[in-house]
Amino acid sequence: MTSRIRVEANGPLLEITFDHPPAHAFDQQACRDLDTAFGRLCDTPALRCGIVTATGERIFSAGWDLKAVADGDRGEDFGPNGFMGLKRQFNKPVIAAVNGLAVGGGFEFALHAHMVVCAPHAEFGLPELQRGFLPEAGGLWRAYRRLPPSIANELLLTGRRLTAEEGLRLGFVNRIAPRETLLDAAREMAMQVVAAAPLAVEALLEIARASEALPDAEAFALFQAGLPAHRRMRQSNDYYEGPRAFAEKRPPRWTGT
């Protein structure tokens, strides 16, 4: 059976494309395929950043394949990291390049991504309550973390869609780019990530996750105690390569060791 996603390594970038038009909806197998791609990103040292987008210009993803559910596919074997891999803790940055409408799981994925680049006509919605259930793949609480509570309440309770411009104004969207250059804008942002030290990037994501809900005193204590990726960074050659490169007025040569 043809996969609903396409995966391609582009130098240090792993580009993942939803390819099940018109809605790019996800069934159980598609979720497992997507999580396999994320595993490749996380486990391959040469890959430094992921970009997730979709074919076409109308829809990024409508999330759960409700037509399949209506036809009797009630299974929820989405793989170890849940629906669309939304339980996975990424050790590499992931950029959502949103080409159109992102609703349900599509919006939940954008909320889970580290950065969002979108087309001007993109919209984001969580219509689950209007369909009789909740956004259970992380969107419910991530909406409150990434957006002002009053806006999150409105989107969840009424089903209203967030526009690209509103998302940019609220700090959820990083950049808006024309559809024809959307992937180029995401790649440009990703290559800026690649310029940073790989172990430092991994340590930052680790500490940001662990300290997200902590008061300052506990966050400092956690930071000083050191988490695994943070300790690897501190003990690495790259930890000293940055200062050497600065002193020698040259670009750093990161090895990830």
Longest dimension (CA), the chain: 65
Place of tokens 């950043």: 49
Place of tokens 């689950």: 128
Is there a contact between 183 and 175 (Cβ–Cβ < 8 Å)?
no
Can you say how many angstroms the Cα of residue 78 is from the centroid of all Cα atoms in its chain? Answer: 18
Alpha helices per DSSP H over 44-181: 66-70, 105-112, 139-146, 149-158, 164-169
Q: Residue 216 and residue 209: Cα distance in Å, rounded?
A: 14
Q: Residue 178 and residue 174: Cα distance in Å, rounded?
A: 14
Which residues are marked as active site?
108, 128
Q: Residue 93 and residue 42: Cα distance in Å, rounded?
A: 9
Q: Residue 206 and residue 228: Cα distance in Å, rounded?
A: 8
Beta bridge partners of 17: 6, 53
